[in-house]
Structure formats: structure tokens, C-alpha cells
Amino acid sequence: MANFNIDSEKKRTYDAIVIGSGASGGWAAKELCEKGLKVLVLERGREVKHGRDYPTASKAPWQFDYRGTVPLDKRTDYRNARFLRESRLPFMLKDDEQPFIQEKPFEWHRGYHQGGKSLLWARQTQRWSDYDFQGPERDGFAVDWPIRYKDLEPWYTYVEKFIGIAGANDGLVELPDSYTQPGFGMSCVESYFKESLKKNYEGRHVIQARCAHLTDPQEIHKQQGRSKCMHQRQCNRGCLYGGYYSSNSSTMPWAEKTGNLTLRPHSVVHSIIHNNKKRRKSRAEGVRVIDAHTNEMIEFYAKIIFVNASTINSNAILLNSKSERFPEGLGNSNGLLGKYMSWHNYRGKASAEVEGFADKKTAGRSASHAYMPRFRNVFSQETNFLRGYAAGISASRRTNTDTNMIGNQLRENILAPKLDDNWIIGSWMMGEVIPTEANHVRLHNDLKDKYGIPQIIMSCDWTENDEKMVDDYMEQTIEMFEKAGFKNIEARDTKRPPGSDIHEMGGVRMGHDKETSLLNKHNQLHDCKNVFVTDGACMTSTSTQNPTLTFMAITARAANHAVSELKKRNL
């Protein structure tokens, strides 16, 4: 029996374990497998093979029974029906899968399937600059980042070349240039607004947003089996062409073809196993999972562990990883684990009508939009709130189809819709939320989910700084639209709760020392150096850019450091 147990444990032992298969988990798997490590990727949800398992991809509206609407009898399993469409149903999470407690209102969007939210993301990929990394140091809120742009710059380029980024390079110090393919361009109204800003303001810019789409596939993308974006704009169903980056179309298959990858779906991570022997250095030995089909607890072992379960679950896993050495959660000797949670502020919206340009319309479908980089408090503190906001900009000329008839006239109206007289321009903010200790996640002492894992308590709310930022966004956007000559301008505060636009970050933040942070500059737990956290949980602050590109660059950097440290026998 003893030999049987040894053999069983040996079969469950790998060089590295990666928790999660989304954007950052896929990059961890790729880098570690490429370097020759035997890697186990633990995925909470089901396996999703690229191309094969996208059941609604490229479907036309009339191919759905209810033109995409989800019948009432299928809605009962979903508390949040905001994004509920039949086309997205294969990747939606039922409420009973993971109930959580909202101490304050919070919307939590998850992707429990291979590829995670990399199948569902908005694909926007702007780099950070030193002005972003220096924010906490300059104003004293949160702790100083232990890295700067120079530390990530080569990794940004490394990631961008592999995944493919469409966009332009704009020469802005506050938004460093990327390694790009041709962008999708801007509409005539977006270009007009760009020139209006240049004329009326100093330091405000409208650029083509950069996005993870292939417009000119290179050899590295062809080797991945991916092809050019077809502008279908059905990306959140999965892309049969691999036209945009997802871990399913790119990094996970790349890791798989090394022969070093083992993917285990339906594996709900319970906790990380810590070695409590005081005579040895503090290290993790493996990961406990609950098999989602059998409810059996199984232990897997490895020399290094990458935690990429998505921000909130990465926090929860560490909080649940209790031991004699860490009774409050793995690496939590300072009591900060789960605290200083943050996200992005999308509450501000604006729109206006644009007269003129009657001889123009948009052709085809663009997979991206225009973008206004942050212009508030970039170089100095100039407002009554800290940090700032970026804004998405999109202009289009709508069609108006009269369907109040039948027969030939109805057919003609549908085939030849009339253009509206005016263009419409819209804007939405993406503000930086300052991390505060009060905004946190913790585990419930008694309530558990169906796997026997403590339920997560979300306790996050807006602050006065966020309110002031929304007010400024609305005021400034109205002014910019007025100076551009737009009409019927509307700006509003949606008052949506935190989490509404995803982008959760923090709780396991990086920093210089173990008194004020959980991770060092290489994303290792200060108290357990063979555990790396490289998803959104590691973020010290949020800045204003869409964060996923930075997660991927941080992960590639940390994975290569981990391999180097393994070779030196430091882990």
C-alpha cells in the first residue's frame, strides 16, 4: 500500500502548477512549457477547444430560435441578466456555481471555462507609462510600485509580437507606443473631434485605440493557426479564425504542442498546500482541488505555483490556504491579504449629435474605436481629485429602417435602409479607482458553496474621489463637445455599482517590503517565494488603461524569472 501511495503521488507531481487558463494563466503555461517544465494547468470549468467548442460563433440572428433572446424559463438560473443573450449563453455562469455575499452592491463577472475571460474581453491593449507606475509614490495613496516602465517594456514588446496588436503609434509620453499592425482607423467624426481637441486644448489627444486583433498576420501568428480578423464583431462568442487573442487560440495550444502541458478541467481549487516544517524554508508544496464531478479532494504537487485564477478568486484561494505558519491565509503575515481592492470607474457616459458629414458613412464593421488617453493629473496634481480617467470615443451614422408596413415596401426598406441625418458620437470614461483598505474581500466563517469552500464576502464601494472624478469627466466632456460644435449633448452618471465593468485588481499587491505588500518585484509572495501571483490580484494601483496587456507582460516576466531561479536552485 505504501508503494501505491508513493506511485500515486508521483503521478500527481509536476514541475509547475498554474491555477487558471485565462489571459495570464495561458501566458504562464506557454512560458513555463517552452522552457521545458512539465506543467499542470488547473481549470475550474470545462475544457473548450479552439474552434470546436464555440457553438454560436458566426451565427446570424435568424439562426437562433428567438433571434438571440433568452426565453424566460432559461433565465431563472441567472441573477444578473445584463449580458444574457442566447449567443453568449455557452459562456455564462449559473448562480449556483459560486454564490457570494455582497456586503455592498458588487457585480462580479466570471468566465469558468478553458480560456476564461480571454474569450469574452474587450481586447483593448494600451501600455502603461512611468506616469502610471509612479502615481502612488507621487501622491502617497497606495504603496509604491517595485517596478517601472523600463522593467516591463521588453515584455510588452514580447507579448505584443506574439498575440498581435492593431493600432497606431502616436509618440505620447503618457501612453508608450506598442509593437503594432495596421489599425482599424477612425471615422470622419472621430478624426474631426481629434482635430478639435488639438485646436482647443494642449495635451489632449484622440487616437485609434490599440486592440488584440490581427490585421496583418505574421509568421508567428500563422504558426499558431490564426488568421486575419474578419470584422464580424461577434468576439465574445469565440472566434473561429483566431482573429483576436485568446489563450484558447494562442498561448494554450502553443504550450500544448511542447508536449509538456497537462490540462485538468473541472478542478475547483480549494487551497495551496504549505510546508509547515520549521527547519525548512517556507515554501508551498502543491494545490488541493475539488473535482467538480465527484466532489473528491485531490492534491497535486509542484516546485512552483502560479496563481492566475482571476483577481477575486486568487485572493480567495490564498485566504483559504491556511496553515500553522499562516493561520490567516498563505503569505498573509501582515494582515493585508484581500485588502486594497480596486477596479475601474466606468460610471460616466456622454453622447451628442454631430451635424454635417452628410456625404459620409462608415463602411463595414470596426473591431475597435477611438481612445482619449488620460489628461488629468498626469504631470502634476491639478484637480480636487487624485489620478485621472481615459475615455473611449465612438462615432457612427445610424440607419433608420421603417418596418411599419408589409410586402414589397417592407422588403425595400430593409434592403435599403435610410441614413439618419446626423451622426452620433458617444464617450465613456475609464477612471482610476484609488485602492483603500476598506475595499476588501474576505471569507465567510460559516457559509460554504456546493464544493465546501467558504463563500466570498465582497465589501467594496465608491469613494469621494470617484464621485469627483465622474463629475469632472461629465463637465469636461460637455465642454469638449461644445467646442467641437456638437448638438444635443448629454452626460450622465450611471451610478452603477463597483465591478460592473470587470477589471478588478489588487488584494495581493506588489511592493518593496513585506510590511506593506504581499509580493516582491518578481511577483513572488514575500513569505513563500515559490508562489507567484501574476493576474489582476498583483496590481498595486489600476491606472486608466485596460489592464490585460499589463497582466500578460507581468506574467511573462515572472515566469522567466521563476525558471531562472529554479535553475539556480533558489526555489
One-character DSSP codes across 51-63: TTT-TTTT--GGG
Q: What residues form DSSP beta bridges with 300?
A: 287
Band the pLDDT of 367: cuts 50, 70, 90. Answer: low
Average pLDDT over residues 245-250: 97
According to the model, what pLDDT value does residue 400 have? 76
Average pLDDT over residues 79-102: 84
Band the pLDDT of 92: cuts 50, 70, 90. Answer: confident
Interatomic CA distance for residues 250 and 247, integer angstroms:
5
Interatomic CA distance for residues 153 and 48, integer angstroms:
32
Angle, alpha carbons 223-225-230 (nearest 5°) = 125
SS3 breakdown of the chain: % helix, strand, coil, rounded to 5? 25, 25, 50
Tell me which of 262 and 62 has the higher pLDDT.
Answer: 262
pLDDT for 490 beyond 60? yes
Whole-model pTM: value is: 0.94
- Tell me the percentage of the chain whose pLDDT exceeds 90: 79
Angle, alpha carbons 195-201-203 (nearest 5°) = 95
- Residue 471: inside a domain: yes
Average pLDDT over residues 280-296: 93
Interatomic CA distance for residues 381 and 379, integer angstroms:
7
- Residue 487: inside a domain: yes
Domain that holds residue 470: 169-209+344-432+462-497
pLDDT for 75 beyond 50? yes
How do residues 158-169 score in pLDDT, each as one tens digit?
999 999 999 999
- Residue 198: inside a domain: yes
pLDDT for 280 beyond 80? no
How do residues 38-66 score in pLDDT, each as one tens digit?
999 999 999 999 999 999 999 888 898 88
Band the pLDDT of 74: cuts 50, 70, 90. Answer: confident
Interatomic CA distance for residues 38 and 58, integer angstroms:
36
Contact criterion met (CB below 8 Å) for 535 and 308: yes
- Residue 354: inside a domain: yes
pLDDT for 534 beyond 90? yes
Average pLDDT over residues 463-471: 97
pLDDT for 565 beyond 70? yes
Sign of CA dihedral 234, 240, 243, 247: positive
Average pLDDT over residues 378-390: 95
- Grid cell digits, residue 384: 480636487
Q: What distance separates the 2 farthest-apart alpha carbons in the chain?
A: 86
- Residue 50: inside a domain: no
Band the pLDDT of 113: cuts 50, 70, 90. Answer: very high
pLDDT for 361 beyond 50? yes
pLDDT for 1 beyond 50? no
Q: Are strands 344-345 and 339-342 parallel, antiparallel or unpaired?
A: unpaired
pLDDT for 3 beyond 60? no
Interatomic CA distance for residues 265 and 112, integer angstroms:
10
pLDDT for 78 beyond 70? yes
- Grid cell digits, residue 92: 455564462
- Residue 428: inside a domain: yes
Structural domain count of the chain: 1
Pick from 311, 312, 313: which is nearest to 287 by CA?
Answer: 313
- Residue 153: inside a domain: no
CA dihedral 541, 542, 547, 549 (to 10 degrees): -40
Band the pLDDT of 368: cuts 50, 70, 90. Answer: confident
N- to C-terminal Cα separation, the chain:
31
- Residue 412: inside a domain: yes
How much is the mean pLDDT over the chain?
Answer: 93
Sign of CA dihedral 91, 94, 100, 106: positive
Tell me which of 334 and 359 has the higher pLDDT.
Answer: 334
DSSP string, 83-151: T--TTTGGGPPPGGGS--EESS--------BTTGGGGTS--B-PPP-HHHHTHHHHH-SS---S--HHH
According to the model, what pLDDT value does residue 504 have? 96
According to the model, what pLDDT value does residue 359 have? 83
Average pLDDT over residues 366-389: 92
Residues 6+ apart with CB under 8 A from 410: 403
- Grid cell digits, residue 19: 491555477
